[in-house]
Amino acid sequence: MEIKIWSDVRCPFCYIGKKKFEDALEKFPQKEGVKVTWKSFQLDPNLKTDASTSTLDYFVKTKGVSAEQARQMLGGAANMAREAGLDFKLEETVPANSFMAHRLIQLAKSKGLGNEIEEVLFKVHFTEAKNIDDVAVLVDAATSIGMDAEEVKKTLESDDFAYEVKQDEMEARNIGVRGVPFFVFNDKYAVSGAQPSEAFLQTLEKAWEEFQPKSDLEISQGDSCDIDGSCN
């Protein structure tokens, strides 16, 4: 059974949602039969990366709020992260365009490392407060999960996997995705947002029940002819 997850590594609720989903998956008895596929969904594609500032200052500038108000806005997500066992440095994160990171995710997916690259990029952005629009940072992230540095660098310095990113985003639009994280279970059920682990577990169980082939039919016998031509 496949679970598709539309996500952006700039989205704090996507990381929180990932953790809550994984907690549910650990409790799911049939977890070995679940395939997770990560899908690209870029937030604020027109964002210009500015490594000289912080997300706190960016909020003050773009939202027209005070520094204290910005801290309160970021604090809610940080508290949710702590409850999920994550350590966010939201005020210090770099306002960075995520398109290049999405292309790296697509490369990693082609090598069966989609979940691994998602995890490390979330950590790089939210815990280490590094610039996810920097080639050197992304190469380091990729090599930490066993990817080849030269291949990653060559890919990021080209337009490779841009098409795959756009295709994921088009698929999201076609099914009505307007925000992330967005989880689709077996192309039938969806969970939107960083919901409690219990919600993910319930949806896993429901989707699995319908995904599994029906058990043997209960047959009421009557007169018939069998495959060998014998009739009774």
Banded pLDDT at 229 (limits 50, 70, 90): low
Residue 13 reports pLDDT greater than 80? yes
Q: Token pair for residue 148?
A: 């080849």
Helix (H) or strand (E) holding 155: helix 149-156
Residue 81 reports pLDDT greater than 70? yes
List, for residues 160-199, the tens digit of each pLDDT value: 999 999 999 999 999 999 999 999 999 999 999 999 999 9
Residue 231 reports pLDDT greater than 70? no
* Residue 221 neighbours by CB distance under 10 Å: 5
The residue among 161, 171, 167, 113 whose CA lies nearest residue 141 is 113
β-pair type (182-185, 2-7): antiparallel
- Domains identified in the chain and CATH numbers: 2-211 (3.40.30.10)
C-alpha to C-alpha distances, 213 to 31, 202, 203, 216, nearest whole angstrom: 17, 19, 18, 9
pLDDT at 200: 97
Residue 221 reports pLDDT greater than 70? no
pLDDT at 212: 72
Task: Render 103-153 in DSSP notation, one character per residue.
Answer: HHHHHHHTTT-HHHHHHHHHIIIIIS---TT-HHHHHHHHHTTT--HHHHH
Share of the chain above pLDDT 90, in %: 88
C-alpha to C-alpha distances, 81 to 110, 130, 194, nearest whole angstrom: 29, 18, 10
pLDDT at 224: 58
Answer with the residue of higher pLDDT: 219 or 195.
195
Residue 90 reports pLDDT greater than 80? yes
Residue range 88-98: average pLDDT? 96
List, for residues 57-79, the tens digit of each pLDDT value: 998 998 889 999 999 989 999 99
* Residue 22 neighbours by CB distance under 10 Å: 16
pTM above 0.95, yes or no: no
Are 179 and 167 spatial neighbours (Cβ–Cβ below 8 Å)?
A: no
Calpha distance 170→228 (Å, rounded):
54
Are 55 and 92 spatial neighbours (Cβ–Cβ below 8 Å)?
A: yes
Residue range 121-140: average pLDDT? 98
List, for residues 33-47, the tens digit of each pLDDT value: 999 999 999 999 999
Banded pLDDT at 219 (limits 50, 70, 90): very low
pLDDT at 211: 85
Residue range 131-152: average pLDDT? 98
